[in-house]
Chains A and B, each alone.
Chain A
Amino acid sequence: MKIVKEALAGTLESSDLLVKVAPSPTDTLEVMVQSEVIRQFGEQINKVVRETLEKMGVTAGQILVDDKGALDCAIRARLQAAVLRGADCNKIEWSRLS
């Protein structure tokens, strides 16, 4: 799955996150994570982001995650929403989202 257009999902409200995705000019996958709780939970947040993208089969795109203390379930959901929007994907494979 490739990101073919810019897209956003989420908000900057507390306990939420904003995910921005864009096509990669080098056709690679670039991921950047910012978080208010990066010191305490940075490892876990990065793990959730990495696993979610892997499961969806995202191979190319720029992914920016701006986390405001969201739970793992919200991180997965917002990331998936942004990727599906950016990949212009209309067909959902639920097994890749669980």
Chain B
Amino acid sequence: MKLRRSMLFVPGANASMLSTVFIYKPDSIMFDLEDAVSLREKDSARLLVFHALQNPAYKDIETVVRINPLNTEYGLLDLEAAVRGGVDIVRLPKTDRPEDVHELEAHVERIEKECGREVGSTKLMAAVESASGVINAVAIATASKRMVGIALAGFDYVMDMQTERGDGTELFYARCAVLHAARYAGIDAFDVVYGDVNNEEGFLKEVDLIKKLGFNGKSLVNPRQIDLLHNAYAPTEEEVEHSKRVVAAAEQAERDGLGVVSLNGKMIDAPIVNHAIRVLQKAQASGVRK
């Protein structure tokens, strides 16, 4: 089971962080060539990321590169560096329409062929950051077979909506729309960053909300948030024990030729069994909540 709970942003121009960030063990590392890099450092950051991707230290961790939009002078060069460097996933910012994904996919395929990389091996992820992107979320999420995820980017979105970050009310519709698009497309959904890194209580409150909504995980801006997030997403011992009993009861029912079985007076049907199996898979992959 591939977990994508934590996607840690790393500024592409920071050689020190690029050299050490793998030690924090997020589920995915996202090298940022967009907002975190000043205009005059775009070329140097692109080369740093190109070579960092080929560093053996990143062999066992999922790598993501956030390129600049393709309608800028940097976007296509960033994409060349990412695909040729061997990135697992390209994250496209400011995705407003499915055509943005189609354009990206065409370039990725061309670069894969040019550099001898297996066609289709580069996966894609779209970040929606505007009302237009949210409205088109389903079309974006289903725009390519390469799509593995869709992310909501909060700052630009609330600007576009003429509001500001607050208690989450301002993101409610966008979160639900992006999440439904992801589930419809069968891909992962990522929530916005939580920028107040010293506010653990606020961070955990937001994590609790997005976990209940159904997000796979969250984009992170500080390594300190990784363990907090992973622990919050891990199943509790009680959930694991209950899931084991559910699965055991279902297996017994199958051996007995029964379609439906009850556990402690409650009916167990297929969705409940599937949920229990997912809990056990998560526990195996992430451990139990501390």
Residues of A within 8 A of B (CB): 9-11, 13-17, 70-71, 73-74, 76-78, 80-81, 84-85, 92, 94, 97-98
Q: Is the CB of A74 within 8 A of B19?
A: yes
Find chain A residues with CB under 8 A from B80 CB: 92, 94
In the complex, identify which listed stretch (B40-48, B94-102, B153-161, B211-219) lies at the interface while the others stay far away.
Answer: B40-48
CB–CB A94/B115 < 8 A: yes
If the complex has contacts A13-B15, A94-B115, are A73 and B44 also in contact, measured as CB distance less than 8 A? no
Chain B contact residues: helix, strand, loop or mixed? helix
Complex contacts, B47 vs chain A, CB 8 Å = 76-78, 80-81, 97
State whether B43 touches A73 (Cβ < 8 A): no
The answer to whether B84 touches A77, judged by C-beta atoms less than 8 angstroms apart, is: no
Interface residue SS majority, chain A: mixed
B139 close to A (CB within 8 Å): no
Establish whether residues A81 and B16, one from each chain, have CB atoms under 8 Å apart when the complex forms. no
Given contacts A74-B19, A74-B51, contact A98 B84 (CB under 8 A): yes
Report chain A residues within 8 Å CB of B77: 92
Tell me, yes or no, whether B18 is within 8 Å of chain A by CB. Answer: yes
Judge if B50 is at the interface, Cβ distance under 8 Å.
Answer: yes
A-B contact count (CB 8 A): 61
Q: Find out whether the CB atom of A77 lies under 8 angstroms from the CB atom of B48.
A: yes
B162 at the interface (CB under 8 A from A): no
Q: Knowing A16-B16, A74-B19, A98-B84 touch, does A84 contact B43 (C-beta < 8 A)?
A: yes
Q: How close is A76's CB to chain B, nearest CB, in angstroms?
A: 5
Contact size range, B = 10 to 19
Contacts of B54 in A (CB 8 A): 73, 98
| Alpha-carbon distance between A98 and B84 when the two chains are bound, in angstroms | 9
Closest chain A CB from B87 CB (angstroms): 14
Interchain CA distance A17-B44 in the complex, whole Å? 12
Q: In the assembly, what is the distance between CA of A10 and CA of B14, in Å?
A: 9
**CB contact between A15 and one of B15, B43, B51, B115 (< 8 Å): that residue:** B15
In angstroms, Cα B48 to Cα A60, docked, is 24
Most buried by B among A11, A14, A74: A74
> Closest CB of chain A to B67's CB: distance in Å?
15
CA gap between A70 and B80 in the complex, in Å: 24
Interface residues in B73-105 by Cβ distance below 8 A to A read 77, 80-81, 84
Q: Mark B20-56, 1 if CB is under 8 A from A, else 0.
A: 1000000000000000000000011001101110110
Q: Are A73 and B52 CB-contacts (below 8 A) given A15-B20, A94-B84?
A: yes
**Cβ of A70: which chain B residues have Cβ within 8 Å of it?**
15, 19
Residues of chain A within 8 A (CB-CB) of B50 are 77, 97
Residue of B whose beta carbon sits closest to that of A73: B51
Return B1 CB to nearest CB of chain A, in Å: 31
6 tightest A-B CB contacts, nearest first? A73-B51, A15-B16, A81-B44, A16-B15, A77-B47, A77-B48
